[in-house]
Amino acid sequence: MGSVVDAANKEVNGTSSAKKPTVIFVLAGGPGSGKGTQCAYIVEHFGYTHLSAGDLLRAEIKSGSENGTMIQNMIKEGKIVPSEVTIKLLQKAIQENGNDKFLIDGFPRNEENRAAFEKVTEIEPKFVLFFDCPEEEMERRLLGRNQGREDDNIETIRKRFKVFLESSLPVIQYYEAKGKVRKIHAAKPIDDVFQEVKAVFSPEAEKVAGQWHLY
């Protein structure tokens, strides 16, 4: 009799009992950290699907949907797009994809994003991949690849870095307390950075996950 009840409960709570996808949050202090390049390598070498919160919002706007128009208007008015809107786009992308391993890039940006994501999706990330790159190095990289708009670039980096310290750092600290942060020293050359990334994704790293700490 119990087994019938259990089966019925599983049927009713299909979303809860179904195997949840593996999610890794990818965060960095600002543009020029190299996380986009590293995400592409992770996709190629480890079979993850890369989901960028920003790209999903832009695609929704481009689609001309009612939701997209709402997002566009909010951005134009300088308002922050509600967490639930971004989370629903991420959730839809996860559900429509045949993969079960995802890199979520550029989200959560703050504690409210984080709490809402876990509540709405009932998914807790496997870990947070944090690309730690000094502000000066990000400036140097962006100035090297974008000649002619140096002031704008530096201003953008400094604003993003300030926002990171105020909003995103608490997210890193929250997951660090749970032993879920993998810090990558992103100021090194691309191949050297990927060696660090590969070490994080190797089976051996899984066994000693509890020993990783921010420092």
- Over the chain (215 residues), the average pLDDT of each successive run of 10 is 40 52 89 84 95 93 93 86 93 94 93 95 95 77 62 66 78 94 89 93 55 41
pLDDT tens-place string over residues 22-44: 999 999 876 667 888 999 999 99
Q: Where are the beta strands (DSSP E) in 29-80?
A: 49-52
pTM: 0.77
Rounded Cα distance, 122 and 116, in Å: 9
In-domain check, residue 39: yes
Q: Which residues are paired to 49 by β-bridges? A: 102
Half-sphere exposure of 36 (CA within 13 A, CB side): 7
What is the pLDDT at residue 147? Answer: 54
In-domain check, residue 75: no
**Reduced DSSP (H G I as helix, E B as strand, rest coil) percent helix, strand, coil of the chain, to 5:** 60, 15, 25
Annotated binding site for a ribonucleoside 5'-phosphate: 58, 79-81, 106-109, 149, 160
In-domain check, residue 2: no
In-domain check, residue 89: no
CA distance to 111, 183, 203, per residue, from 107 (Å):
10, 16, 25
Annotated binding site: 32-37, 58, 79-81, 106-109, 113, 145, 149, 160, 188
Annotated binding site for ATP: 32-37, 145, 188
In-domain check, residue 77: no
What is the pLDDT at residue 120? Answer: 95
Annotated binding site for CMP: 113
